[in-house]
Amino acid sequence: MRFLLIVSIMLIVIFIVNSINYMENENINSISNDNFKYIIKDYNNNLEQLGRDSIAEETEKLYHAHIIHDSRKDIKKILNNKLKEVNKEYKEKYGINIRSEVLSVESTDSPWKVLFKVRIKADKDTNQFDGILESNSSIEGLKDPLPYAKLPKIYNNINNDGKKIHYFQALAQYLRLHNVDSYESYILATSPLFIKKCPYDPYIHHGDGNTLKECLKQGYFHESADGSCYLCRLDGKGVCPHYGMEVFIQTHTPLTNESVSCSDHVVFHDRYTGEKLNKYDINSLILDSSHAKKYGLVHEDG
* Cis ω before 192 (30° cut-off from 0): no
User: What is the per-residue DSSP string for 175-203?
Assistant: HHHTT-TTGGGGTT-EEESB--B----SG
State in angstroms the smallest separation of the CB of 61 from Zn ion: 18
Q: Judged by CB under 5 A, does residue 229 bind Zn ion?
A: yes
Q: How far is the CB of 159 from Zn ion (least distance, A)?
A: 24
SS (H, E, C) 222-262: EEECCCCCHHHHHCCCCCCCCCEEECECECCCCCCCCEECC
- Scanning residues 95 to 154, which ones bind Zn ion (CB under 5 A)? 107
Q: How far is the CB of 100 from Zn ion (least distance, A)?
A: 25
Inter-residue contact 107 to 101 (CB < 8 Å): no
3-state secondary structure of 298: coil
Smaller CB separation from Zn ion, 124 or 242: 242
Binding flags for Zn ion, 159-188, as an x/- string (CB under 5 A): ------------------------------
Taking CB under 5 A as the rule, does residue 195 contact Zn ion?
Answer: no
191 to 34, 236, 302: CA distances (angstroms): 49, 16, 27
Three-state SS letters, 119-156 = EEEEEECCEEEEEEEEEEEECCCCECCHHHHHCCCCCC
Shortest Å distance, C-beta 127 to Zn ion: 39
Cα 76 from Cα 83, distance rounded (Å)? 10
Q: Shortest distance, CB of residue 244 to Zn ion, whole angstroms? A: 6
Interaction between residue 242 and Zn ion (CB under 5 A): yes
Task: State whether residue 68 is helix, strand or coil.
Answer: coil
Q: Which stretch binds Zn ion (CB under 5 A): 21-29, 110-118, 145-153, 197-205?
A: 197-205
Q: Which span (6-14, 161-169, 178-186, 209-217) binds Zn ion, by CB under 5 A?
A: 209-217
Find the shortest distance in angstroms from Cβ 300 to Zn ion: 19
Q: Which is nearer to Zn ion, 95 or 241 (CB)?
A: 241
Q: How far is the CB of 42 from Zn ion (least distance, A)?
A: 31
Q: Is 232 in the site for Zn ion (CB under 5 A)?
A: yes
Helical (H) or strand (E) element with 51: helix 34-63
Distance CA 180, CA 267 (A): 9
Interface residue with Zn ion among 120, 142, 170, 198 (CB under 5 A) is 198
240 contacts Zn ion (rule: CB under 5 A) = yes
Binding residues (CB under 5 A) for Zn ion: these are 107, 198, 200, 215, 220, 229, 232, 240, 242
